[in-house]
Amino acid sequence: MKQEIIRRSPGEMFSLEGKTALVTGASHGIGFAIAKSLSDAGAQIAFNCSSAESLERGLAAYRNEGIEAHGYVCDVTDEPSVEAMVAEIADQVGVIDILVNNAGMIRRVPMHEMNADEFRRVIDVDLTGPFLVSKAVIPGMIRKGGGKIINVCSMMSELGRETVSAYAAAKGGLKMLTKNIASEYGAYNIQCNGIGPGYIATTQTAPLRERQADGSRHPFDQFITARTPAGRWGTVEDLTGPAIFLASPASDFVNGQILYVDGGILAYIGKQP
């Protein structure tokens, strides 16, 4: 399929005006920050949560930011539920132009202590979920003449670490799913790329950054900052520029790539003792 090359001004290259974006699991944290940035760039925002309670909290958070977001209760591992949500978004907001597969989970258990059901649950949320939501939105993108899919991967798409066997397996698989979607649907003007966050300062990681009783830094905090050339944890805001880039016309010839936003940690062997 031959694609028309459109010349745009620098401002137009990063504009999302008139676009509809679905960000999964975006009631708080990284997903919320990405959704807010896409809204700031002009997109209409839809998001999902797994419960009515988290949906209400999410809608209140968007209202506090002056964003008219559209929220849905949907389990991304349930195919009929995903298909119904995508159809509802198309009817109420618009056919999805931008999908950010952000919903995810991690379970930190030594591999020999993790049972198969626990392993499968992480795989279902972190890998099967992005497959199902991408599968549901791609036909609409094809009919519309293109689209953007952004998968939230991880440094664990590249590295292993103790107690995260299921998470690393899922995120490694998500990296390859990203490349395959790019390969299979690039001819339809669909770009699929990933963002690989490094260690990000969120409420979930706050206990790892708390000062100890003697005033010293948490050992894990010391470990991460020593391994990161930037010398700090990332912030959710550090992920918003890359998200806008990958969602916008500025990345129309970028496909199948993982953009690691990690302060350089994957490029760094660490200081000599």
Beta 20-24 vs 98-101: how paired, if at all?
A: parallel
- This prediction has a pTM of 0.95
How many Å apart are CA 142 and CA 1, to the nearest integer? 11
The active-site residue out of 72, 167, 185, 199 is 167
Residue-wise pLDDT for 112-170, tens only, equals 999 999 999 999 999 999 999 999 999 999 999 999 999 999 999 999 999 999 999 99
How many Å apart are CA 185 and CA 257, to the nearest integer? 14
Cβ partners under 8 Å of residue 87, min gap 6: none
The yes-or-no answer on residue 167 being catalytic is yes
Residue whose C-alpha is closest to residue 263's, from 198, 206, 193, 205: 198
- Range 56-78 average pLDDT: 98
- Give the count of alpha carbons within 13 A of 155, CB side only: 17
Residue-wise pLDDT for 180-201, tens only, equals 999 999 999 999 999 999 999 9
Helices assigned H by DSSP within 2-144: 10-13, 29-40, 52-64, 79-92, 116-123, 129-144
Q: Can you give the pLDDT at residue 73?
A: 98
Residue-wise pLDDT for 28-45, tens only, equals 999 999 999 999 999 999
Any bridge partners for residue 152, and if so which?
A: 195
How many Å apart are CA 92 and CA 155, to the nearest integer? 36
Q: Can you give the pLDDT at residue 273?
A: 75
Residue whose C-alpha is closest to residue 26's, from 101, 80, 86: 101
Residue with tokens 């016309």: 249
Beta 258-261 vs 44-49: how paired, if at all?
A: unpaired
